[in-house]
Structure 1
Amino acid sequence: MTGMTALLIYIVWTLILALSYATYRLPLVLTGKKAANHWERGQPVDDPAILVRAKAAHLNCLENLPLFAALVLIAAATGQSDTINAVAGFIVAARIGQSLVHLIGTSFPLVFIRASLFLAQVALMLYLAFALI
């Protein structure tokens, strides 16, 4: 998988997660069951648990998306695409895996798996950063 393809998949996955909880909320607003500003930060959360986790998984994706994008673009700009191509698919797979585990639940074993997948992404991105220097 090329770095650019991996980046595109990462972006699409992040958007899917955003839509997963936004599509639940939109009908509630349109039918007048909830105010449009009902979900402001700091207010009590009354969404179903899976939607709360979907929002958290979406925000988790946004944490590392700029870093991953920068690595892919630096590799492309410096003619080092082969370096990123070898690892990019693993980063995206770990990201999607982390999100899926987050959607499943928050038990200790699931949080441990999620943390392990996060650390794998960070380790791979650090590897790439040093390889691109």
Structure 2
Amino acid sequence: MRNSLQKVLGDDDMRKLTLYVRQNAREWEDKKLNDHGGFIAFRTASYNEEEKWAAFKGRVQRILNSAFDHVVEQHRGHEYEQVAEARRLFELHWIEDGELDGVTADTLREHFTQLKKEEADTAMGIY
């Protein structure tokens, strides 16, 4: 993953990113978003094809887990606590609502903005 980022960013921007991460790592560790984390994903298609949708979600989850699985493989199958924690926090929270079938990106932005307003006082903390 690092090599891919470096190809896209270039050496100078990669150094800036590394410095930024190092400077903020302690704050992020302390914050941990109240032990919640992850990303929101919207289902906008395949509402009449549950089997196809389930297969898609499975593929997405395998892709997301591949980096963590690689680290575990590199450590002879042992998943360290930090890796397990990162895997847990790197979760997709799917929003599945038939009314979102085929909507535009602008509609999703509006929906996300509304979610942020509704969740402002909860532990989830959507950013």
TM norm. shorter chain > 0.5: no
Higher helix share: 1
Higher strand share: 2
